[in-house]
Amino acid sequence: MNDAIRQRASELGFDDCRFTTATPPESAPHLQRWLAEGQQGEMAWLARNAEKRVAPERVLPGARSVICLAVSYEDAWCVVRDASSNEPTPDLCLTQHASSYAARAPRTTHHGLIARYARFTDYHDVLAEKLKALTTFVNKLGDATTRSLWYVDTGPVLERDLAQRAGIGFVGKHTNVISRKLGNWIFLAEILTTLELEPDAPEKNRCGSCSRCITACPTRAITAPFQLDARLCISYLTIELKGSIPVELRPLIGNRIYGCDDCLAACPWNRFAREGSLMKPHARADLATPDLIELLELDEAGFKSKFADTPMLRTKRRGLLRNVCVALGNVGDKTALPILEKACGDSEPLIAEHARWAMERVESKK
């Protein structure tokens, strides 16, 4: 049964498919402690369903197995390999990756940076269609009582822990899953099912003494190996946080306007990353180096039109333009002042507040 599911998953475009049991993840106590310390910030939904997250059977009664899936969103330009070795060479990998990135990096001060995963049609929508098809296939392998439930970053499950237990990869020191064959540029998805499937062997941690991701974090959000304070993370600050970005953290955000890839990009295991076929047709080249001035000129209709069908809609106009103002304050020059002055009068107070901060910061550079 496992082989049949794996084959069907591959046909649908998934880059990896592995299996584990539906027993509670061993890391459940870590989640409970993390929540108790408030490190989730404003992400109240994490605590709201905490009891389900630590027990898959509470999500799907009778669940016996979890099918864990991975989809690469790597793009071709950053694939780095060393054919002479089967193990990662951190210095070589990091040097080549940085060099490759520099060749593609924005050359002007008025361009923003969007996390790589968001430069596509919304992965929730892309993967949903494939997951529905695979779930139907799984149910047909069972009998009339078989039930299955799929999620793609949307359900109350500890997907990273389950992915490690299934052998998809290991949770790195940056708290993201790292696959030995896909790197860490991967989307995770899972299907909980009442079918009993043979579990795969878990993956062991292979970070070793490497701490490049910790060093790379601009805000020191990775407070210790395998520990992340979301309240400091740029992805949280630019996406999940709905109000004002703390003033002391704004300069550290640089020109990032939606998410941050620094800890992921630093990982030497990315030398084994490969371009994924499923996401490739959904790439949005126009989101690679967006012009900050143009973004700050977007009205509500323009925002919805430009970011239609992308994950970036979730920030709403107020959130994205808040981020754009911060980015302009950090990397803009005097040519950005007219559009920032206009933004100071925006009807949305959040945008106006951050525009005023940005103006003061740009003017202080004169």
C-alpha–C-alpha distance, residues 2 and 17, integer Å: 9
> Which residues have C-beta within 8 Å of that of residue 36, sequence separation ≥ 6?
none
Q: What H or E segment, with its residue span, contains residue 317?
A: helix 316-331
Structure tokens at 79: 């694939």
- Tokens 């949307």 correspond to 154
Phi, psi of 231, rounded to the nearest 5 degrees: -65, -20
Burial class (CB in 10 A: 0-12, 13-18, 19+), 36: exposed
The dihedral formed by the CA atoms of 290, 277, 181 and 155, expressed in degrees to the nearest 10: 80
Residues with catalytic annotation?
153
Of 180, 256, 270, give the one whose Cα is nearest residue 221.
256
* Secondary structure class of 299 (helix, strand, coil): coil
Whole-angstrom distance, CA of residue 134 vs CA of residue 176: 25
Per-residue buried b or exposed e for 202-217, using 16+ beta carbons within 10 Å of the residue's own CB = bbeeebeebebbbebb
> What pairing do the DSSP bridges indicate for beta strands 148-151 and 186-193?
antiparallel
Classify each residue of 63-95 as buried b or exposed e, where b means 16 or more C-beta atoms within 10 Å of its C-beta: bbbbbbbbbbbbbeebbbeeeeeeebebeebbe
Distance between CA atoms of residues 80 and 269, nearest Å: 10
E strand intervals along 99-236: 113-114, 148-151, 170-171, 177-178, 186-193, 222-224, 227-228
